[in-house]
Structure 1
Amino acid sequence: MGTKWTTADIPDQHGRVAVVTGANTGLGYETAKALAGRGASVVLAVRDVAKGRLAATRMGGDVTVQALDLTSLDSVRSAAAALRSRLGRIDLLINNAGVMYTPKRTTRDGFEMQFGTNHLGHFALTGLLLDLMLPVAGSRVVTVSSTGHRIRAAIHFDDLQWERSYSRAGAYGQSKLANLMFTYELQRRLAARGTTVAVAAHPGLSSTELTRNTPAAFRLPIDLLAPMVTQTPEMGALPTLRAATDPAVLGGQYYGPGGRNEIMGHPRPVLSSPESYDVTIQQRLWAASEDLTGVRFPVVRPARESGPVLAA
C-alpha cells in the first residue's frame, strides 16, 4: 500500500454490515457509496427518508435506509430498535452526521443543538447498538470529529447546553471535542473485549453543505476562498474510510488529511488537541452523557490510562 491511501485500498467488504449516519449527501454519502462499492451491506441512517432512498438508488449495491433523527432521543431509540430487529450484526457504525454553527436552538430533548446532535445523539445510538458489534471480530465504531474541536477547547460542564451565553463556534468546538473524548473513552472500555475498536476521523476542509449555517459576515470570504482551500467530499471522506477499513488501524487512533495543517490531502494518523486526551474529563463527560441520554453501555469501566495512539 502506498503512502497516498485511496478508495482503491479499501479491502473487500462483502459480508460486512455498515450503518452510516447522515448519508444523504456530502461526506456521509461518499463514505456509504465507497463501502457499498466494495461489497458491504450499507444502511443509510438519515432524517429525510425520501432523500435517503434517492441516495441509495444513486449508489447502487446493497443499500437500505433507516429513519434517524439525532435531535430526538425517541427517534434514536426507535431507529436502534428497528436496526436490532433487522440486522443480526453490525461491523461498522460510522457516526458521521452533524450540524455546524447553528443559531441558538435546542433539540427536542432540550439539549443545545450542536452538542445534542453531534455528540449526545451519537453517544446514545452507539450505546443502543453496541451489543450487535461486540461479538463481531474486527468491528469498529468510527466517529467523525473536526479540526474545530480546538476552538475553545473545553467541555463546559458548568453550562453544557450554553444557556447562559451562546457562541456558534464555541458550541460547535465543544461538540467536536466531545466526539473525540467519547472515542478515546469508548476505546478504553472496549479494549478488554478484543473484538470492537473505536476510532475517530476528520475531513479537513471539505466542500459540503455543513457550512450552510455559517454567519453571513463570513460567507463571502469562505465562498471566495473555498476553491483554493477545500477538497472534494470524495477526498474528505477518505480519513473516515481509512479509519473504518484499513487493517492496520488501531483502536483510539485519529485520522485526518496528511497535508499541511491537516486541511487537505490523503489520510494518515494525526493527533488531536492536548485537552482531548484528558482521561478525567473524558470520564466525567461519559458520566454526564449517560445521565442526559439515559443510555448505559454494555462494556465494563476501564482502568485509568491516557495517551494518544499512533501508527506508522
Structure 2
Amino acid sequence: MPAAKFDPAKDVPDLTGKIILITGGTAGIGAATLIALASHNASHLLFTGRNAAAAASTISSVHAISPSTPITFFPCDLSSLSSVSSTASSLLTTLPHLDILLCNAGIMALPPSLSPDGYEIQFATNHLGHALLIKKLLPLLRKSPDPRVVLVSSEAFRGAPAEGILFDTLKTPQDMPLGRFRRYAQSKLANLLYARELERRALGVLSFSVTPGVVNTAMVREASLLDKAVAYLTNRVQSVEEGTWNLLWAVGVGRNEVEGGAFYGPVGVKNETGTRARRDESVAERLWEWTEGELERWM
C-alpha cells in the first residue's frame, strides 16, 4: 500500500481483544505508534524502555486520546540479557496471552563498545536482546489465536560487511573503518534474517520484518552534522507520524495479506532486493544457531 494511500485512522482495524507489546515505547516511533493505537480499542498496550519519566509521558499521551485504554510500562534494558530475562519473567506472570510483539527498540551508529554481557553493543541491543525476549515469550504468543512477531529492520542492512555478520568478533567492539555504520547495518541484517528464520522454525507464529524508513527522531536530530547531512541527502527523511505507518500496517494487516519471513518497506511494500548476505540461507541458519547457543543459559 503506497504511503500516500495509507490512513491509520481507516486502515488499522479494530483491535478489540488484542494484547500488544512494543519495545522502545518511551520515545520516537515506538511512543508515536502506541499513541496512534490508542484509538483502536486494543485490550492492553504494553511497552518497554529505560526511561521511566518518558514512559509516564507516553502513558499520559495515550490516555489523553483514550482514557480507558489499559497501558503498562515494563522497564527493560535490551543490551542486558539479565534485564531482558527479568522483564520477560514479569510479562509471563502478568499476561494471559500475547497477540503481537513489535520489536522496535534500537540504537544506531555508536562508537565501539561492549554490552554488559560482552557483546558488540549494537548487535546486543538490536538483535540479541530481542531474540531472548522473543524466545521467552513464545509460550504467551502460542496462547493467541493469531500470534505475530514483527522485527523493525532498516534499509541500512545493505551496509553490513560483505560476509553479512562477523560472527567470530561479536564478542569484541568490532572497531573497523566506518565501523559504527557497519556494526549498525550488521544488526539490522540480523533483524531481517532472524525474522525469516523465526517464521520457518517457530511454527504457528507469523513473523516478518519491516522498515519505517528514515525518520526524524532523536537518532537523526542528535546526529553529527556530517551524519545528518548524509541522512538528508541520501533519503527522504519522514516525520515521526509517517514513521509509524509501516509499524501500524504490520500490527493491523490481515494474516492472509502478509508473507511470513518477508521484509516490507513503507507502507506494506514487499522488498526483495539486497545483498548476497541477505539471500544466503547459510548466513541466516548460522545466525539462528549462534543465537540459540548464546541464549541457552538464559532459557
TM-score of the aligned structures, taking structure 1 as reference length = 0.84
Identity %: 34
Query: RMSD between aligned alpha carbons?
Result: 2.2
Distance change >3 Å, CA 84–CA 136, structure 1 → 2: same
Query: Which residue number corresponds to residue 95 of structure 1?
Result: 103
Query: 1:127, 1:295 within 8 Å by CA — same for their partners in 2?
Result: no
Is this contact kept in 2: 1:102–1:214, CA < 8 A?
A: no
2:71, 2:261 → 1: CA distance? Answer: 28
SS in 2 for 1:230: coil
Distance in 1, matches of 2:291 and 2:208, equals 19
Match of 1:64 in 2: 72
**Residue aligned with 1:143, SS:** strand
Q: CA 1:213/1:290 → structure 2, altered by over 3 Å: closer, same or farther? A: farther
Question: What's 1:310 paired with?
Answer: none
Question: By how many angstroms is 1:212 displaced?
Answer: 5.8
Contact kept in structure 2, 1:91 and 1:138, CA below 8 Å: yes
1:245 to 252, 262, 283: 252
Residue number in structure 2 paired with 1:156: 166
Please tell me whether the aligned partners of residues 201 and 255 of structure 1 are also in contact (alpha carbons under 8 angstroms): yes
- Residue number in structure 2 paired with 1:12: 14
Of residues 57, 60, 74 in structure 2, which corresponds to 1:54? 57
Rounded Cα–Cα distance in structure 2 between residues aligned with 1:246 and 1:66: 26
Aligned 8 A contact 1:254 1:272 in 2: no
Residue 245 to residue 120, structure 1, CA distance change in 2 (3 Å): same
Mapped to 2, the partners of 1:214 and 1:293 lie a distance apart of: 32
Instruction: Flag structure 2 segments of 5+ consecutive residues without an equivalent.
Output: 64-68
Q: How does 1:212-227 map to 2 (within 5 A)?
A: 214-219=223-228, 221=229, 225=232
Check conservation: 2:199, 2:261, Cα contact below 8 A: yes
Alignment partners' CA distance in 1, 2:174 and 2:184: 16
Q: Using a 3 Å threshold, how does the CA distance of structure 1 residues 272 and 161 change in structure 2: closer, same or farther?
A: farther
Cα 1:116/1:162, change in 2 over 3 Å: same
Indicate if the aligned counterparts of 1:197 and 1:251 stay in contact, CA closer than 8 A: yes
- CA–CA distance in 2 between the matches of 1:155 and 1:250? 25
- For the Cα contact (< 8 Å) 1:128–1:295, is it kept in 2? no
Deviating runs (4+, > 6 A) in structure 1?
none
Select 1:42's aligned residue among 45, 55, 59.
45
Name the SS of the counterpart of 2:261 in structure 1: coil
Q: In structure 2, what is the Cα distance between the partners aligned to 1:53 and 1:230?
A: 28
Distance in 2 between the 1:163 and 1:235 partners? 34
In 2, Cα distance between equivalents of 1:94 and 1:272: 23
Residues 16-40 of structure 1: CA deviation (Å, up to 9, x unaligned): 0000000111111122222232111
1:302 aligned residue? none
User: CA offsets, 1:75-126, max 9 Å, x none?
Assistant: 1011001111110100000000000001111111111110000000000010
TM-score by length of 2: 0.88
Matched to 1:273, the amino acid is: G
The CA deviation string for residues 38-64 of structure 1, in whole angstroms up to 9 with x for no partner, is 111110111112211221111122211
**One of 229, 253, 263 as aligned partner of 1:254:** 263
Distance apart, 1:269 and its partner CA? 2.0
User: Are 2:161 and 1:188 equivalent residues in the alignment?
Assistant: no
Residue 170, structure 1, aligned to residue 170, structure 2 = no
Contact conserved, 1:36 with 1:62, CA < 8 A, in 2?
no
Summarize the Cα distance change of 1:202–1:211 in structure 2 as closer, same or farther, 3 Å threshold: same
Structure 1's unaligned 5+ residue stretches are 258-265, 298-312
Q: How many aligned positions are there? A: 283
**1:215 to partner: Cα distance:** 4.5
Does the CA-based 8 Å contact 1:39-1:62 persist in structure 2?
A: no
Rounded Cα–Cα distance in structure 1 between residues aligned with 2:296 and 2:132: 8
CA gap 1:205/1:164 in 2 versus in 1, 3 angstroms = closer
CA contact (8 A) 1:199 1:250 kept: yes
Q: 2:203 aligned with 1:200, yes or no?
A: no
Q: Which amino acid aligns with 1:268?
A: V
Corresponding position of 1:281: 283
Contact 2:118/2:172 (<8 A) preserved: no
CA shift, 1:272, in A, is 4.8
Q: CA 1:72–1:234 in structure 2 vs 1: closer, same or farther (change >3 Å)?
A: same
One-letter amino acid matched to 2:196: Y
Q: Assess if the C-alpha contact under 8 Å between 1:23 and 1:29 holds in 2.
A: yes
Shift of 1:246: 0.6
**Residue identity matched to 2:175:** S
| Partner-residue secondary structure (3-state), 1:229 | coil
Q: Quote the Cα distance in structure 1 between the aligned partners of 2:273 and 2:62.
A: 32
Tell me if structure 1 keeps the 8 A contact 2:24–2:106.
yes
